Amino acid sequence: MFVKYVTRNDAHQSFVKEDFAIGLDLFVTSLILLITSFVDKFAKHLKMEGEDRLKSGFEQEIFSLPWLLLILTLGLWATSTVVRKIGWETKDSLRISWGIVFPNFIGITTLIIVFLIVKK
């Protein structure tokens, strides 16, 4: 929110409600976090020796990655479509419910779920 505020033209003096619309940014952040986490796990897996590799259970995790990425990508697409279709009050103003609160809730929820997946 702060970055949105400080990068705006100096003619704007205060926060506007659109500055609080960070849900889609959080959603993209969770996708990046998931991808980088799996890249890190894959690199560690390649360094392991024979029996340690089998015990790691990484093979099962790597099979779930494409499905997770597909689900998250479709979720991001659906959320952005909801914001585009019913989230705008006027040409320049978001609705508080469907334009700000809904995507923020989805973005925070997705970020928490990805943190729980990455934590394993």
User: According to the model, what pLDDT value does residue 14 have?
Assistant: 76
* Ordered per-residue pLDDT tens for the chain, 120 residues: 777 777 777 776 677 788 889 999 999 999 999 999 989 888 887 787 777 666 667 777 788 888 999 999 999 999 999 999 999 999 989 999 999 999 999 999 999 999 999 987
Alpha helices in 16-101 (DSSP H): 23-47, 50-56, 58-86
User: According to the model, what pLDDT value does residue 6 have?
Assistant: 73
* pTM for this predicted structure: 0.82
> In sequence order, which residues have a C-beta less than 8 Å from that of residue 68 and are 6 or more positions away?
34, 117
94 bridge partner residues: 88
- Every domain of the chain and the residues it spans: 64-120
In the numeric block, the tokens 């990046």 are attached to 32
What radius of gyration, in Å, describes the C-alpha atoms of the chain?
19
